[in-house]
Amino acid sequence: MINPMDLTGKMILVTGASSGIGRETCRCLSELGARVVLAARNKERLAATAATLEGTGHCTEPFDLSLVDQVPDWLQDVAKRLGSLDGVVHCAGISITQPMRLWNVNDTDRLMKINLYACFALASGLRRKLVRKKGSSLVLISSVGGIRGYPGLVMYSASKAAIIGLTRSLALELALDGVRVNCVAPGLVDTEMLQETRLVLTEQQIADLTKEYPLGIGKPRDVANSIAFLLSDASRWITGTTLVTDGGCTA
């Protein structure tokens, strides 16, 4: 019996591949047989991630996704050199803790370029015929911050909520091209970013934060598994959905 989660022979591009959820997603996809194209700005960290992958045929593509208007042509160039893509995952993202009284448009613009505008730019690139294979899949990363509110994260939450709406509309438009579009909304995940946060929190604050998660704080692999599912044939009849992966935080 064929395993619908098997990604053997598929080529998938992952942004934000040098750390956190993006890095673990690359590892997960390689274990399922995919060839992975790793994208991020830092060449050395990309190479370090690539060295941990299973199988062969993986490659690194350093690129700055804040150059939003160049993304579609970059994606087309990648496909021209390496072959058409079966999927794209946008794990790259930034978070800015910024109370309303400190808001400024430059920080917001920087955040929106990576978190939101790059999503649309990747979709635009993937829509080009020579870039995608039949039945390709685009997976975007939202957050529980796009579902519930968090003080000090107003613009971050706005960007992640927008991804949910973007996913629904893109799914309808790209269905005509045979492209599925879904997103994953993770809760708090034990990545480098969380480790940095722990350094400035008291033990009581950490305990209070953990209580919000009935199943505990997540691991990067928990989110990577959800992403792999949405890329695989196991989800062939799913598009326009948001898969909340949050240990019960929003239940």
Q: How far apart are CA 225 and CA 234, in angstroms?
A: 12
Q: How far apart are CA 48 and CA 25, in angstroms?
A: 14
Is there a contact between 20 and 72 (Cβ–Cβ < 8 Å)? no
Is there a contact between 36 and 58 (Cβ–Cβ < 8 Å)? yes
Q: What angle do CA 245, 151, 242 make, to 5 degrees?
A: 25
The whole-number pLDDT of residue 120 equals 98
Question: Going along the chain, which residue ranges are E strands?
Answer: 11-15, 35-40, 59-62, 85-90, 132-141, 180-186, 242-245
Looking at the DSSP bridge assignments, the partners of residue 141 are 184
- Domain residue extents for the chain: 11-188+221-238
**Distance (Å) of CA 31 to CA 46, 83, 194, 228:** 18, 20, 26, 10
The whole-number pLDDT of residue 200 equals 63
The whole-number pLDDT of residue 136 equals 97
In this structure, is the dihedral angle defined by the CA atoms of residues 71, 77, 82 and 84, taken in order, positive or negative?
A: positive
3-state secondary structure of 137: strand
Mean pLDDT of successive 10-residue stretches along the chain, which has 251 residues: 92 97 98 98 97 98 97 98 98 86 89 97 96 97 94 91 98 96 96 73 81 95 98 98 98 94
Residue 1 exposed, middle or buried by CB count within 10 Å (0-12, 13-18, 19+): exposed
Q: How far apart are CA 8 and CA 21, in angstroms?
A: 21
Q: Is 156 a catalytic residue?
A: yes
Is there a contact between 156 and 96 (Cβ–Cβ < 8 Å)? yes
3-state secondary structure of 109: helix
Architecture of the 11-188+221-238 domain: 3-Layer(aba) Sandwich (3.40)
Q: How far apart are CA 232 and CA 23, in angstroms?
A: 18
Q: How far apart are CA 180 and CA 113, in angstroms?
A: 23
Element (H, E) at 192: helix 192-198
Q: How many residues does the chain have?
A: 251
Element (H, E) at 30: helix 20-31
Specify the pTM.
0.95
Looking at the DSSP bridge assignments, the partners of residue 112 are none
Q: Which residue is it, tokens 């700055």? A: 64
DSSP annotation of 240 reads S
